[in-house]
Amino acid sequence: MAQGAQKIVFRPLNLARCIIWSGFALLLLVLPLFFNKGFALTLMCQIGTIMIFSLSFNMLLGQSGMLSLGHAVYSGLGAYFAIHMLNLIGKGWLFPVSLLPLVGGLAGALFGVLFGYVTTKKSGTPFAMITLGIGELVFAMSLMFPEFFGGEGGVSSNRIAGEPLFGFITFGPQIQVYYLVAVWLFICTAAMYAFTHTPLGRIANAVRDNPERVEFIGYETQRVRYLVLIISGFFAGIAGGLGAINFEIVSSENVSAIRSGTVLLFTFIGGVPFFFGPMIGAVIFGFFIVVLATITKAWLLYLGLFFVMMVMYCPGGIATLIMMQFPIVKAGRFREIFPSYCLAVAAGLTLLAALVFAVEMIYHLSLEAAAGTTKAFFGYDVEVASATPWLGVALLSGIGAVLFVAARRGISTHWDRIMGDIIRSQTA
Amino acid sequence: MNAPAPMPVIAAALELRAVRKSFGVTEIIRGVDLAITKGERHAVIGPNGAGKSTLFNLISGRFGVSTGAILLNGGDLAGLKPFEINRKGLARSFQITNIFANLSVFENIRCAVLYPLGYKYSFWKALSTLKDANLRADEILELIGLKKRRDVKAGLLTYAEQRALEIGITIAGGAEVILLDEPTAGMSRSESDQAVELIRKVTVGKTLVMVEHDMSVVFSLADRISVLVYGEVIATDVPEKIRGNAAVQEAYLGTSLAEGAH
Amino acid sequence: MFKQTFGALAAGAILGLAASAASAQTVKIGYIDPLSGPFANVGEAGLKQFQFVIDDINARNLTGGPKLEIVPLDNKGTPQESLNQLKVAIDRGMRFVTQGNGSGAALAISDAVAKHNERNPGQSVLYLNYAAVDPDLTNSKCNFWHFRFDVNADMKMEALTTYLAKDQGIKKVYLIHQNYAFGQQNSRIAKELLARKRPDIQIVGDDLHPIGQVKDFSPYVAKMKAANADIVITGNWGNDMSLLIKAAKDANYNGAFYTYYAGGLGTPTAMGEAAAGKVKQITEWHANIAPNKTEKFANEFEKKYKLDFYYLRVNTMMYMLADAIKKEKSAEPLKVAFALEGMKFASDTGEVEMRASDHQIINPMYISTIVKAANKGDKPQAGGDKSVKYDQEDTGLGFKTDARIEAYVVSQPTSCQMKRPPKS
Amino acid sequence: MEFFLISLLNGVSYGLLLFMLSSGLTLIFSMMGVLNFAHASFYMLGAYFAYQISVKFGFWPALLMAPLVVGVLGALVERFMLRRVHKFGHVPELLLTFGLAYLIEEFVHLIWGRSSLDYKVPTEMDGPLFTLYTTTFPMYRGFMMLVAVLMLLAIFLVLTRTRIGLVIQASLTHPDTVEALGHNVPRVFMLVFGGGCALAGLAGVIGGNAFVTEPGMAAAVGSIVFVVAVVGGMGSLAGAFVASLLIGVIQTFAVAMDYSFVTLLKSAGFVITPDTFLYSLWKLTIAQTAPILPYLFLVLILIFRPRGLMGTREG
């Protein structure tokens, strides 16, 4: 599935790498200064846990070519074990709350060992279908055994338990939970990145590209997939554990097929072929679900459209979109193509505006007809029933279409010329 | 240079005893007996559909034999999976290029050396610190002449370069017995001459079994030749004898061998 | 199941926008219920009922000063999402939140509100539950900051079994529930109460099926017929309710169905004629009770929103809240909570009491059967029961009262030991 | 005896219903290898279009026109969306249908609103077909079984007896050679996808009033449809038919079996008390697990016989 530019190698290797990682650490440290509102912090913690979860998911899809349609099973079960452990800590067990995600991780790995043995017997579509089946079974079971799964209300707990860390950190206030998530996010991201540079990690890529050939260089492909699944289950369990601390409740929703579908969708939007793709996906998840969901009831429609457009026009996700520009920037020719990009963005925005107007007005007509036919649009009321706004929409989409055609032609000509020069310079 | 080597007395590196293989009703391999001594370069030729690739698939464990036995250095390979056979020291290449398209050329080779060097499924060692593996991989790259294409994605190589990489991956593991399935298929004259030199260079001291159509490649490389027709070996001998063998001419070459099939 | 991928997905709030300070004169109430995804229709109907009764309260200035305002917060039907919305409400300075759809979300909110108030004493928040009926909320998991304005499931079963006990014709009862905490609890309490009140009644079936997984209920109906059960008791809701009734009609099973949610939004439409004369429900109100003091209110509501009025308990709740604010002359949750505790209020169906020991409302209930109504929508129809004036969702079927059960019969002892904050 | 006969009848009719729901998916999944997650959404569209048409023209015209409309919609989706993504491989195809699935649901929310529709069984088919002992068997359910069997025959005949059928079967495994023989393979795939969606639409028209027509109806059917297609076996219509009958009958009889470990051990003399470890697992009866048995079949089949009951390849 991954295609595109030549293998990107940073020169010199370690300087670029440590800049990136220290920058990442700095960002995590400084973020709460900008977003310190109660809910914003919770959301950032949620995005952090989803980053770990998506990275563990992409360890299967992006690194080893295994599409799992039931990955929430590992993070959900990890979360259940973690929250039960939290309750035990509350009853006096000596275990630091800060290491709770580890309990989730071990539980995730344990179920990786259990289910993995069955699922990794097959690969490709059969593997996807088995994980779908197991996902449905675990979800149905989660409602049937209230002792462990806590029934519909789920299992709740109090994260202020046991000895405070270093004497003063009780994880009561949200800011402390944020830094716990940040630390675990950094550790897990580093660990998963390092994994891609180990023999097993690289052979997993080989299994992704050509499972048959791997059999002939001494590796048993099922064993490779099995080990990768266990490790991925471990990190998914850690994400589950962190989620349990952040929300102090774990319910059957954590193991639902909806969760598995979410991580698949946003990892794909973020970009499967690149390691950091899922992290972009998690941030976009935050934007779509948070900001958009409160502005409009039709956020699901926008998300659907956005996703379908991504699948059709940019299957490599946003990460690939960014990394494709890399050779051009390296060749110093970005200035040439930049105006066409601006044109494309302008076209996109006008089309989007036309779409938003149309959808909001239709939504207003169908759902809120009772509350009169005027709709507030960023401050001024629009008379939905009359024709003028609809004419405006048609006009906007017309302009947008024209801009789009122009931008498309501009980009393709520039792109071919620059890439042509680059390829020629290489093979000379 | 390739004077007919006398039959050494030591055990055969690879031995096939009355091997038969049928898919459903049709029998493809009808009783093949073959013994290839250590260090020998053996070519298997025959018209299309004679069962050459099926023979390779049987030896490398991709299919199981219907009856008969295949022995590697005396050990029976019955029921073993391809990776188990590979670990016993047998490596094979593929007629249709079968490489890791999204990994760089260097990584393709390094993947092939990891298991033999004992790194197996380790996820705690960093690849950059594995001095022996990286050195070995660079050696192989030098050997197959892809040094300057080290960091290019394997999928972006030219056809001939990919065929060279295919051979590189096969020999990288250091297997004693090498199976090459039509290594020069689809190559131009100059490219195939280059490939022959490469094969000669990389199989020094190793046992080579090769399926090949290009007679010039066969005669410049093989110590002995087996001719497979309709699932049966009709002749196994040194190149000169094969060249003169009436049955081979009639069943396989059609025209007399003297004019050569360039 | 993939289709609801985002229908039931995570948080909804402006990231980091400044919270509008709780202006003295308006009391904001956070409405945390599903407004998108599979249960959106139920959530939206509830929101409109709050809007309508709040307009009435503000118009008549029943709070003696501050205006009330309902603020919609979409929780997409999941417990985790409800917690996110609760944090949004707290960020925006709301001191009251209300929720009703799903015991999972209710338990999550009740627990989170208690923890929030404990960790930030000055900014306590009050949770008013108008529809989640899990008994734990006012027993093992009760807390001072949660008030429930809907009779809980065990008390509904108490009322139901008291009514059934009087009918000697019933000898065999069949139970069928969805296999989750509420269903299991309901089945347990039904067997317990029936054994106590009518030991001669035989439980001939006790089925539990996964929620939303059953497409065809005919095997269950075949079991009912094989056991020749006189009546069926079920706590099912939504599709699991409608498909069960359709299967019963198809297989010509004529026993009565005693349910909690037959009148739920969309269910009458989905069941159609199959339900006539067979399906009964237990609720605190329905359109054809006599005397019906809410008739005018319900008609105005239906005219404005083209939706059946359903939640009388929302009216009772908001009027009681307004009374508490007026009595205490302040909208401080602590004061309002103490005012609500033990409050007796003259609701449209008679006196109700917010029991002090566990903050559980005690109010009279009605058992009613869905029958062919006098008119379909607003046009009279032939063969309808003249006493049933209003139909449900223009289906031509309306509810007819079988019995009214007084408040004292409904109440059950509670095991709740509540920690109360200091009064000042 | 009556209970056994009725259960068998219910089982067979539910099995045929499952086949009707999944036949379109089986056609697409086995013929094009496309995992169509939007199949249930086309089923929903079939029901909604049928409601809209039947309000004006009545049930029978709707039975004809709704599947055609859904089929055309499916062909358009293949032509302008799926074909573009085909070259990126199977995963993007799957994801496209995944995104499409809830685009359609949101579209339905937009046009028909969020609550259920009053789409009723036509009055002439509302009564019982026959009565077996005391249980009546609804006429509409008989009609459903008839349509399912007709669907099987129709697809079978089209695929094996007509030229277009042979072209379809050939182009599944060797698209290039078929194209080399002068057949427009892309159009064949468009026909297959459109046909599959039309079948889903037809299932919607009939299933819509039997079940409840509301925006969530797609999700309710979404996963069971896959189970039938996979258990039946990729590339095999007969397999899907047998699988749906098997699942239907086994699930119906499982509902009748109120046995659990507890009852089992009790008959063997051991008494399990509610406080033994994992009690809720032991008291779980077969009846309670009946509705999720299909997923258990899915997992078992994929492990021990990935080709499926009568499949020809592993997908």
Burial B40-75 (b: 16+ CB within 10 A, else e): bbbbbbbeeebbbbbbbbbbbbbbebeebebbbbee
Residues 6+ apart with CB under 8 A from A86: A97, A100, A157, A158, A159, A161, A244, A245
Residue A155 backbone class (left: φ over 0; alpha: ψ -120 to 50; beta: rest): beta
Amino acid at B34: L
| Residues of A in Cβ contact (< 8 Å) with D85 | 311-312, 315
What type of residue is A234?
F
Chain A interface mutation, best of D87, D94, D302, D313, highest count of A Cβ atoms under 10 Å:
D302
**Token duo for residue D286:** 């077969």
- Banded model confidence at residue D240, pLDDT cuts 50, 70, 90: confident
Do the beta carbons of residue A370 and residue C304 sit within 8 Å? Answer: yes
Residues of C in Cβ contact (< 8 Å) with D287: 207
Last residue of a domain, one of A316, A343, A375: A316
Q: Does A145 touch chain D (CB under 8 A)?
A: yes
d(C-alpha A102, C-alpha A83), whole Å: 12
Q: Which of A209, A210, A216 sits opposite B92 (nearest CB)?
A: A216
C-alpha span between D27 and D155 (Å, rounded): 8
The boundaries of the domain holding residue A245 are: 15-316
Residue D39 near residue D200, CB atoms below 8 Å: yes
- Which chains share 3+ C-beta pairs under 8 angstroms with C? A, D
| pLDDT of A200 | 93
Strand A380-383 relative to strand A374-377, pairing: antiparallel
Verify that C42 and C141 share a domain, yes or no. yes
Hey, are the CB atoms on A43 and C84 less than 8 Å from each other?
yes
**A56/A115 same-domain check:** yes
User: Do residue C142 and residue C86 come from a single domain?
Assistant: yes
Confidence of residue B241 (pLDDT cuts 50, 70, 90): confident
**CB of C214 within 8 Å of any CB in chain A?**
no
Contact B121 A227 (CB under 8 A): yes
Query: Same domain for A73 and A123?
Result: yes
pLDDT given for residue C136 in this prediction? 86
Please name which of B61, B260, B258 lies closest in space to residue B177, comparing C-alpha atoms. Answer: B61
CA A14 → CA A10, A22, A331, B107, D5, distances in Å? 8, 12, 22, 19, 75
Higher pLDDT, C282 or A9: C282
Rounded distance between C-alpha atoms, residue B206 and residue C107, angstroms: 72
Residue A374 has pLDDT above 80, yes or no: no
Tell which C residues from 31 to 60 touch D, by Cβ distance under 8 Å: 38, 40-41, 44
Q: Please, are residues A54 and A61 in contact by the beta-carbon 8 Å criterion?
A: no
Answer yes or no: is pLDDT of A13 > 70: no
Asked if residues D120 and D205 have their Cβ atoms less than 8 Å apart, the reply is no
Q: Do chains C and A touch (3 or more CB pairs under 8 A)?
A: yes
What sign does the dihedral D270-D272-D276-D277 (CA atoms) show?
positive
Distance CA A17, CA A8 (A): 13
Half-sphere exposure of D274 (CA within 13 A, CB side): 1
Whether residue C119 lies within 8 A of chain A, CB to CB, comes out as: yes
* Nearest Cβ partner for D3 among C4, C208, C222: C222
* Predicted local confidence at residue A191, as pLDDT: 94
Range A21-50 average pLDDT: 87
Q: How many CA atoms lie within 13 A of A113 on its CB side?
A: 5
| Residue A141 maps to a domain | yes
Give the closest of B103, B119, B172 to A205, CB-based. B103
Locate B177 and state its tokens.
Answer: 């017995």
- Give Cβ neighbours of residue C192 (< 8 Å, ≥ 6 apart): none
Question: What Å distances lie between residue C276 and A71, B253, C154, C246, CA to CA?
Answer: 45, 89, 27, 11
Secondary structure of residue C231 in the 3-state scheme: strand
The yes-or-no verdict on residue D75 having pLDDT over 90 is yes
The shortest CB-CB distance from C269 to any of D17, D118, D220 is to D118
Distance (Å) from the alpha carbon of C196 to chain D's nearest alpha carbon: 21
Predicted local confidence at residue A1, as pLDDT: 34
Q: Which CATH number fits domain B40-51+89-255: 3.90.1720.10, 2.102.10.10, 3.30.2130.30, 3.40.50.300?
A: 3.40.50.300
Predicted confidence at residue C237, as pLDDT, reads 84
Residues A264 and A282 grouped into a single domain: yes
3-state secondary structure D89-151: CHHHHHHHHHHHHHHHHHHHHHHHCCCCCCCCCCHHHCCEEEEECCEEEEHHHHHHHHHHHHH
* Chain A residues within an 8 Å CB radius of B125: 198-199
One-letter identity of residue D121: V
Could you tell me where the DSSP H helices lie in B155-238? 159-172, 189-202, 215-221
Distance (Å, whole) CA A216 – CA B184: 20
Domain count, chain A: 2
Q: At what angle do helices A124-144 and D90-112 cross, to 10 degrees?
A: 50
The alpha carbons of chain A give a radius of gyration, in whole angstroms, of: 24
Among the partner-chain residues B86, B94, B119, the one whose CB lies closest to the CB of A199 is B119
Mean pLDDT for B118-146 is: 89
Domain containing C194: what range?
154-283+365-405
**Single residue among A316, A336, A365 that ends a domain in this structure:** A316
Q: Residue C295: inside a domain, yes or no?
A: no
The model's pLDDT over A101-131, given as tens digits with 9 standing for 90+, comes to 999 999 999 999 999 988 888 888 788 888 9
Q: What is the DSSP letter of C21?
A: P
Give the mean pLDDT of D18-33: 83
Average pLDDT over residues B137-146: 89
SS3 state at B176: coil
User: How far apart are alpha carbons C80 and A249 in whole angstroms?
Assistant: 7
The answer, yes or no, to whether C and B have at least 3 beta-carbon pairs within 8 Å is no
Chains touching D (3+ CB pairs < 8 Å): A, C
Smallest Cα–Cα separation from C1: which of C212, C237, C177, C215?
A: C212
What is the value of pTM for the model shown?
0.85
Asked if residue C5 is part of any domain, the answer here is no
User: With 80 as the cut, is the pLDDT of residue A49 above it?
Assistant: yes
User: Do both A52 and A24 map to the same domain?
Assistant: yes
Cα gap C118→C115, rounded to integer Å: 5
Do A103 and A144 lie in a common domain?
A: yes
D156 touches chain C (CB under 8 A): no
How far away is chain D from the Cα of C297, in angstroms, using its nearest Cα? 23
Nearest chain D CA: its distance from C228 CA (Å): 11
* Nearest-neighbour CA in chain C from D137: distance (Å): 6
Contact D77, D41 (CB under 8 A): no
| Cβ atoms of C252 and D128 closer than 8 Å | yes
Cβ of D314 under 8 Å from any chain A Cβ? Answer: yes
Poorest-pLDDT segment among A313-327, B80-94, D268-282 = D268-282
A205, closest residue in chain B (CA to CA): B103
Q: CB within 8 A of B58, min separation 6: which ones? A: B19, B21, B29, B64, B65, B70
Query: Under an 8 A CB cutoff, do A300 and C6 touch?
Result: yes
Q: How many CB pairs under 8 A join A and D?
A: 116
Residue D203 inside a domain? The answer is: yes
- For residue A377, the SS3 value is strand
pLDDT per residue over A163-195, tens digit each? 787 877 888 788 888 999 999 999 999 999 999
Looking at the structure, tell me whether residues C98 and C190 fall in a common domain: no
Interface test with B, best of A196, A208, A213, A427 (most B CBs within 10 A): A213
Residue A2 lies in a domain: no
Q: Are residues A291 and A373 in the same domain?
A: no
Of A195, A198, A218, Cβ closest to residue B83: A218
Tally of domains within chain C = 2
Residue C279 and residue C371 in one domain: yes
Q: What residue segments make up the domains of chain B, in order of their start? A: 40-51+89-255
DSSP letter string, A25-54 = HHHHHHHHHH--SHHHHHHHHHHHHHHHHH
Using a threshold of 3 CB pairs under 8 A, tell whether chains B and D touch. no
How do strand C360-362 and strand C379-380 relate by DSSP bridges?
Answer: unpaired
Is the CB of D223 less than 8 angstroms away from the CB of A312? no
Whether C335 and C252 map to the same domain: the answer is no
Q: How far apart are CA C135 and CA C157, in angstroms?
A: 11
Residue D220 contacts A where some CB pair is shorter than 8 Å: no
Q: pLDDT at residue B258 above 60? A: no
Residues of C in contact with D212 (CB under 8 A): 239, 242-243, 266, 270
Report pLDDT for D48: 93
Check CB contact of A132 with chain D, cutoff 8 Å. Answer: yes
Asked which of A42-46, A378-382, C181-185, D46-50 is least confident by mean pLDDT, the reply is: A378-382
CATH number of the domain residue C61 falls in: 3.40.50.2300
Beginning with the edge strand found earlier in the chain, give each strand of the sheet holding B207-211 in spatial order: B90-92, B177-181, B207-211, B41-45, B224-229, B232-237
| Dist. CA A250–CA A266, nearest whole Å | 22
ipTM above 0.90, yes or no: no
CB atoms within 10 A of CB C298: 21
What angle, 0 to 180 degrees and rounded to 10, lies between the N-to-C axes of helices A38-64 and A174-195?
10
Task: Say yes or no: A22 and A156 in one domain.
Answer: yes
Model confidence at A294: pLDDT above 80? no
Read off the pLDDT of each residue in B206-234 and give the average, rounded to a whole number. 88
Count other Cβ atoms within 10 Å, centred on residue A220. 16
Shortest CA gap A364–chain D (Å): 9
User: Do the beta carbons of residue D164 and residue D191 sit within 8 Å?
Assistant: yes
User: Does residue A33 surpass a pLDDT of 80?
Assistant: yes
When pLDDT is cut at 50, 70 and 90, the band that residue B254 belongs to is: low
User: Parallel, antiparallel, or unpaired for β B12-23 and A380-383?
Assistant: unpaired
Q: C263 with C373, same domain?
A: yes
Q: Which region holds residue D18: left if phi is over 0, alpha if psi is between -120 and 50, else beta?
A: alpha
Q: Name residue A15's amino acid.
A: L
Question: What 3-state DSSP class applies to B157?
Answer: coil
- Indicate which of A39, A54, A174, A305 best probes the interface with C, i.e. most C CBs within 10 Å of its own CB: A39
- pLDDT digits (tens), chain C, 424 positions: 333 344 333 343 343 333 333 345 789 999 999 887 777 788 888 999 999 999 999 999 888 888 999 998 888 888 888 888 898 899 888 999 999 888 888 988 998 999 889 888 888 999 999 998 888 889 888 899 999 999 988 899 988 898 888 888 889 999 999 887 788 888 999 999 999 998 999 999 899 888 777 888 888 988 888 888 999 999 888 788 888 988 888 888 888 999 988 888 888 887 888 888 889 999 989 888 888 888 899 999 988 888 888 889 999 999 999 999 999 888 889 999 999 998 999 988 889 999 999 999 999 999 999 998 888 877 888 888 888 888 888 888 899 999 999 888 888 888 888 888 887 6
Q: Any CB–CB contact under 8 A between D226 and chain A?
A: yes
Which of the two residues, D215 and C280, has the higher pLDDT score? C280
> Do residue A356 and residue A374 come from a single domain?
yes
Subunits in contact with chain B (3 or more CB pairs closer than 8 Å): A
Do A274 and A399 fall into the same domain? no
Closest chain C C-alpha to D189 CA, distance in angstroms? 25
Task: State residue C19's pLDDT score.
Answer: 37
Rg (CA), chain C: 21
**Are C184 and C249 members of one domain?**
yes
Whether residue C297 lies inside any domain: the answer is no
Claim to verify: residue A199 and residue A60 sit in the same structural domain: yes
Tokens 């990794």 sit on residue? A120
The total number of structural domains in chain D stands at 1
A:C CB pairs within 8 Å:
159
- Quote the minimal CA–CA distance from A370 to chain C in Å: 6
